[in-house]
Amino acid sequence: MIDPFLDATAQADLVRRGDLTPLELVESAIERIERLDPTLNAVVHTTFDRAREVAAGTGADPALSLALGDGPFRGVPFLLKNAVCHSAGDPFTCGMRFLKDRNWIEPTDTWLAARFRAAGFVFVGKSNAPELATSATTEPLAYGATRNPWDIRRSPGGSSGGAAAAVAAGLVPVAHGNDMGGSIRIPAAACGLVGLKPTRARSTLGPAFGEYWGNLTHEHVITRSVRDTAAVLDVIAGRAPGDPYSAPPPIRPFASEVGADPGRLRIGVLPGVPTTDHEVVATVDAVGRLLEGLGHHVEASYPEAFFDGDHLAGMACVGPAVARDLDRWSRRVGAPIGPDDVEPANWWMAEAGRARTLVEQMEAEEIANAWCRRMAAWWASGFDVLVMATMPAPAIELGTGSPDLPLETLLPVIARVASLTSPWNVTGQPAVSLPLGWSAATATVGALPIGVQLVADDGREDVLIRLASQLEVAAPWAHRRPPVNAGDPSPTE
């Protein structure tokens, strides 16, 4: 039996040494998905037959370029999120009933999907995501809620919630995610995983997009280990032809930073905000003390502009972006999308976006750019990393963020969950969530993961990877297993 909690690097090593074949890895993942996903609802589209063909090297359609890549992750099973990044010949519905009912299939790979394939990953399915990826919980009306393997009454976060639940439970070792306001980091925190939002434009959104949701969208993966996070970043990083801009190139491969001495860093700590749970505050404080014990200079300091609210101007593109998404899909499908075709919050955002003038949007961008400069001044003053919570509290209960709630109930819940992550989508800085804390278990709730977020200056994923790998050794998490996991032969609800 293949250990379901081997990370992607270890699984690829088994293939490289000849101990396992790609097909054996893929068959093992398929068995785990079939066994556990009825409990989790993390995978909304399966591509098992095609995955078997690709892994075995038989029947792959050369017109779709579906041959197994020979990169560093050859044969490793992988899930694509059901949003933004799509794969040739597979369903792609963005969590929308409108597209699900029409069984929408994408004819081509995005350039990011092609990079994942070239790295050797084998796509076994699509992970659940909220409709149009607009929520911080994964409870789309089209597919139903994904359950957190640490407590199936709770959300795995969003919008990459299906990806995180699948990785945490051991269905696959790594899964694609994207982050427009915290959608990699929030699920990583809720599910006890590593979630890095890279620097803006570290990878490509082509060929269809140069930007998506303005400049808020960042693509990467959710993993169990820092080394996987770094190694996958190496295979997807880099500007593609026609991209409007790109992140500063790294000095050396990101994988080389794993285990490298970070030196003595100057670290600021922001323990919490007025809405932060006391266990989260205590976790951030403990991580600050741990970092001090590791030899870093640690002080209570943070960019004062964080609290002035101007980053919300940078999020103002979301409404117009949702409106544009609906218009684009109406045109592609050849049928108009109306209020009954999408969830109420998304229709509300689209209508607000349509009412927004270009002049108002340009003003918001100016405000956001000025705010980003005030934020950057803190790093320019000599700080290397900011340490803070990823979420104000552990994973929320399912239903508290349900898309069929009244907007006046729903929107504040989602805003609170994303309040500590969305500012870094506006600045574009790299930020990573690490599972460095755990809530106290009670008679009714077991210990839940608490994510701690590290934020570095623009382009400095190298600093984050060095520090994250140091913390991974000092406060390891790989041994922890959620109650619902692929090592249990008969998980039950």
- Catalytic positions, written as ranges: 81, 159, 183
Quote the CA–CA distance of 121 and 228 in Å, as a whole number.
13
Strands 194-197 vs 105-106: parallel, antiparallel or unpaired: unpaired
Assign 391 to helix, strand or coil: coil
Assign 473 to helix, strand or coil: helix
Taking the CA atoms of 129, 130, 133 and 136 in sequence, report the sign of the dihedral they define.
negative
Quote the CA–CA distance of 97 and 90 in Å, as a whole number.
17
Burial class of residue 35 in the structure, from the number of CB atoms within 10 Å of its CB (0-12 exposed, 13-18 middle, 19+ buried): middle
Strands 43-46 vs 297-299: parallel, antiparallel or unpaired: unpaired
**Containing H/E element for 37?**
helix 22-40
Assess contact for 158 and 188: CB atoms under 8 A: no
Quote the CA–CA distance of 424 and 428 in Å, as a whole number.
6
Cα dihedral: 202, 205, 210, 216 (round 10): -70
Residue holding tokens 């919490």? 272
Write the DSSP string, 114-181: HHHHHTT-EEEEEE---GGG--SS---TTT-PPPBTTBTTB---SSSHHHHHHHHHTS-SEEEEEESS
Count the alpha carbons within 13 Å of 432 in the hemisphere toward its beta carbon. 32
CB atoms inside a 10 Å sphere around CB 67: 14
Cβ neighbors of 65 (< 8 A, separation 6 or more) are 88, 109, 114, 117
Quote the CA–CA distance of 427 and 377 in Å, as a whole number.
12
Assess contact for 125 and 93: CB atoms under 8 A: no
Residue holding tokens 């992970």? 127
Residue environment code for 164-179, b if the CB has 16+ CB neighbours within 10 A, otherwise e: bbbbbbbbbbbbbbbb
Tokens of 460: 């400095």
Whole-number CA gyration radius for the chain: 21
Strands 266-270 vs 194-197: parallel, antiparallel or unpaired: unpaired
